[in-house]
């Protein structure tokens, strides 16, 4: 076969969800992934939090897709018996000065359609997590944690069953527009034609645009890589709720929060800094800044934490730039019919995987 209806580039959680959803109604679909297996980048280097939708600008794709994606993901997890916990989270105001920001966050969440948000006094919040230090807190019950690898495995299995072809170890190296479609070249010198391309290439999605001949800077699609490290602790276990500080006011990150896995282990992260290379090493140099950040809401000593893992965010927001929304767009207006871009799919991308896939059906 040298021609298909749709090529999806990238087997992260977004490409897999797109493949599974589109395979219910579309023709031949080929999913290509440069790594030997799915989920080797952003989709397996994150906090595995099901976000509620409180943080994002009302009316943005992030806000709408997060609220819809949160509900869709819980249903999917229940339907497929995948481990998860709707534990809720506490966003903490460490002192009186931070209380207005907590109120503003609640208001924004309510405008986005997030339900059951509750402002608590510090003592009430400490009733939920006894070791917590808080002046006040916002309780967000719809936040949770889940096994994202199991979700990816299920999406891949179901897409395969519906006839999607998977090509791992296959890197897209060139994209040429043709009348009525595109020709894609791969690292093994094989070529393929496709009517449609769905660009789910995560950290490299701007490069895929460039391969096709799009002017990435004019379009505003240039990605900035932003790294986030995690530090682990053995001092705490089995927190009933996730604990977050107030988010960065410029929207770059959510602040160093607790990360609980489904086994009850606790880590802290992610921090945030821009990088120019793909380097998944985490070292000890960030220890003091982690401890300082965590001490705002928990007692912790330097000896209680050690470097764990990290992830890299594909951000459209560069240093000093205003907050940016996801780009999810069919590019006919730029002269690329049938080319669907997903660029800047940073957090809450995991939460939005199913709602993004639904949006792709409409596009």
Chain positions contacting ligand FAD, by CB under 6 A:
9-15, 32-35, 39-43, 45-49, 51, 171-172, 200-204, 228, 270, 311-313, 345-351
The DSSP call for residue 336 is -
Which two tokens mark 280?
Answer: 């998944």
Distance of CA 147 to the CA centre of its chain: 14
Minimum CB separation of residue 253 from ligand FAD in Å reads 9
Q: Which is nearer to ligand FAD, 93 or 312 (CB)?
A: 312
Residue 46 vs 258, nearer CB to ligand FAD: 46
Looking at the DSSP assignment, which residues form a beta bridge with residue 185?
A: 174, 191
Distance CA 72, CA 65 (A): 10
CB atoms within 10 A of CB 302: 10
Please report which helix (H) or strand (E) contains residue 50, including its range. strand 49-50
Min dist. Cβ of residue 97 to ligand FAD (A): 27
Tell me how far, at minimum, the Cβ of 314 lies from ligand FAD, in Å: 7
Q: How far is the CB of 188 from ligand FAD (least distance, A)?
A: 12
Beta strand extents in 65-164 (DSSP E only)? 84-85, 89-93, 118-121, 136-140, 144-146
Cα–Cα dist 24/127, whole Å = 47
Q: Which is nearer to ligand FAD, 9 or 120 (CB)?
A: 9
Residue 313 CB, shortest distance to ligand FAD, in Å, is 4
Shorter beta-carbon distance to ligand FAD: residue 54 or 136: 54
What is the smallest separation between the CB atom of 122 and ligand FAD, expressed in angstroms? 25
Structure tokens at 50: 């099901």
Which residue's beta carbon is nearest to the bound ligand FAD? 349
Closer CB to ligand FAD, residue 12 or residue 245?
12
- What is the smallest separation between the CB atom of 202 and ligand FAD, expressed in angstroms? 3
Q: What does the alpha-carbon distance between residue 310 and residue 230 come to, in Å, rounded to a whole number?
A: 6
Which of residues 136 and 313 has its CB atom nearest to ligand FAD in the complex? 313
Nearer to ligand FAD, 18 or 102 (CB): 18
Q: How many CA atoms lie within 13 A of 174 on its CB side?
A: 11
User: How many angstroms separate the first and last alpha carbons of the chain?
Assistant: 26
* Cα–Cα distance measured from residue 107 to residue 88, given in angstroms and rounded to the nearest whole number: 18
- CA 341 – CA 248 distance, rounded (Å): 28
Distance, CA of 4 to CA of 6 (rounded, Å)? 6
- Give the β-pairing of 191-199 and 242-244: unpaired
Q: How far is the CB of 225 from ligand FAD (least distance, A)?
A: 9
Q: Which is nearer to ligand FAD, 21 or 34 (CB)?
A: 34
Structural tokens at position 32: 């290509």
């Amino acid at each position: 076969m040298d021609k298909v209806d749709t090529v999806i580039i990238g087997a992260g959680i977004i490409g897999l969800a797109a493949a599974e959803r589109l395979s219910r109604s579309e023709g031949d679909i080929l999913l290509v992934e440069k790594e030997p297996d799915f989920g080797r980048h952003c989709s397996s280097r994150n906090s595995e939090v099901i976000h509620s939708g409180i943080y994002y600008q009302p009316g943005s794709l992030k806000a709408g897709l997060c609220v819809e994606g949160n509900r869709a993901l819980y249903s999917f997890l229940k339907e497929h018996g995948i481990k998860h916990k709707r534990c809720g989270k506490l966003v903490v105001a460490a002192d009186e000065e931070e209380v207005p920001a907590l109120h503003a966050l609640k208001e924004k969440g309510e405008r986005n359609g997030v339900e059951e948000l509750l402002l608590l006094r510090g003592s009430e919040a400490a009733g939920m997590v006894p070791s917590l230090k808080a002046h006040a807190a916002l309780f967000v019950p719809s936040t949770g944690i889940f096994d994202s690898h199991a979700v990816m495995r299920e999406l891949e299995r179901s897409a395969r069953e519906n006839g999607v072809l998977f090509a791992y170890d296959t890197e897209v190296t060139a994209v040429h527009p043709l009348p009525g479609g595109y020709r894609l070249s791969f690292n093994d010198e094989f070529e393929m034609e496709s009517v449609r391309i769905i660009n789910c290439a995560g950290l490299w999605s701007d490069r895929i645009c460039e391969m096709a001949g799009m002017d990435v800077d004019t379009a505003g699609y240039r990605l900035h890589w932003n790294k986030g490290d995690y530090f682990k602790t053995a001092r705490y276990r089995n927190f009933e709720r996730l604990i977050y500080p107030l988010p960065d006011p410029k929207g770059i990150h959510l602040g160093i929060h607790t990360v609980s896995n489904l086994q009850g282990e606790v880590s802290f992260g992610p921090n945030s800094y821009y990088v120019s290379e793909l380097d998944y090493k985490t070292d000890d140099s960030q220890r003091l800044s982690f401890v300082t950040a965590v001490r705002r809401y928990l007692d912790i000593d330097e000896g209680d934490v050690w470097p764990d893992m990290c992830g890299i965010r594909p951000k459209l927001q560069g240093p000093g730039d205003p907050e940016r929304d996801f780009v999810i767009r069919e590019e006919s207006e730029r002269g690329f019919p049938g080319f669907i871009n997903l660029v800047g799919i940073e957090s809450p991308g995991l939460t939005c995987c199913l709602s993004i896939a639904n949006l792709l059906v409409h596009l």
